[in-house]
Amino acid sequence: MKIKTEMLKNDWKLFELSNDNGMKVNILNYGGIITNITVPDRNGKPENIVLGYKNYEDYVQNPVFLGAIIGRVAGRIADAEFSLNGEKYELEKNDGENHLHGGSEGFHQAIWDARGFQSDTEAGVELSLIRKEGEDGYPGSLDVKVTYTLTDSNRLQIDYQADTDKTTALTLTNHSYFNLTGDLKRTVHDHQVKIDSSKFVELDDNLIPTGRQLDTSGTTFDFREERNLSEGFNSSYEQNKIAGNGYDHYFIFDREAGEKVTARDEASGRKMVVETDQPGMVMYTSNSMDSSLELAERASEKYLGVCFETQGSPASLQHESFPEIILQAGETYKKKTVFTFLTED
């Protein structure tokens, strides 16, 4: 296991974690952003399997949140407001009339304190951040830690921890766009995905949850058996069309333990397994991405990546029976998501 650190301008640091299997993960302390994950294909050829910018300066704008830690609340908050313990909190409207991914100065825009660590079996980076009450419209000051750990068994573990001095809303995630073809050779049309979920959250025309949880059975949202993402891209189902002919929906996991998601690309032989103690996730298939982003390998395009944003649901602030995102004062937020990378013959 190895860790290398490179100093960039603006107090940015780039950490490179690597193991003896040819796997490598690059992480910025700016936004806690994963800029590159290199994984071998079935023939042992190492290639990058996430979307990242060619120029680091582009992470300052980063309109599509490539690879970033998202907080305080991942996802959209309807009308950019919520009530908690009898008080109303008004947030920045940075997505039409709604609040998205913690606002324009969310965790994806922060310079985190960073500390690298390594042993014989793992290498990682611990990131920490303090947010004062009033800095972003949310109640309470927050002490946050996010730890990335790469193991010698090709597991990338993300541990999230946070403490607050006042009851607040919080759900954190990572916003990496995965493309298992390697070096963005193709779109994710032929990615075969399996999700442990029989219910997903209905969206309105503004991508805001309606409060209804729909049964996946008989729809292009039923991933309990593996299916190609392209089935949703080409579907006439209204929920696919609302999202720009794809997916931008919250899936509620059926089980608390075990594998929650698998994704694989048959041509390269790469397979990714996602385990998490989060209650659900947003799967986003880059439906609104255009050709304007200069990525490391080539220009961006629609369907070039797929995000698996494991998290609670912001819809719980407006609707009952959704996975909660309230962190009580004095409690500690602790969540974990693990991405394991394999190859198949």
Tell me the catalytic residues.
175, 309
Residue 298 class from Cβ within 10 Å (0-12 exposed, 13-18 middle, 19+ buried)?
middle
SS3 of 234-275: CCCCHHHHHCCCCCEEEEEECCCCCEEEEEEECCCCEEEEEE
C-alpha 293, offset from chain centre: 19
Q: What's the DSSP call for residue 140?
A: S
User: Are the C-beta atoms of 163 and 142 separated by less than 8 Å?
Assistant: yes
User: Are the C-beta atoms of 34 and 24 separated by less than 8 Å?
Assistant: no
Length of the chain: 345
User: Are the C-beta atoms of 257 and 265 separated by less than 8 Å?
Assistant: no
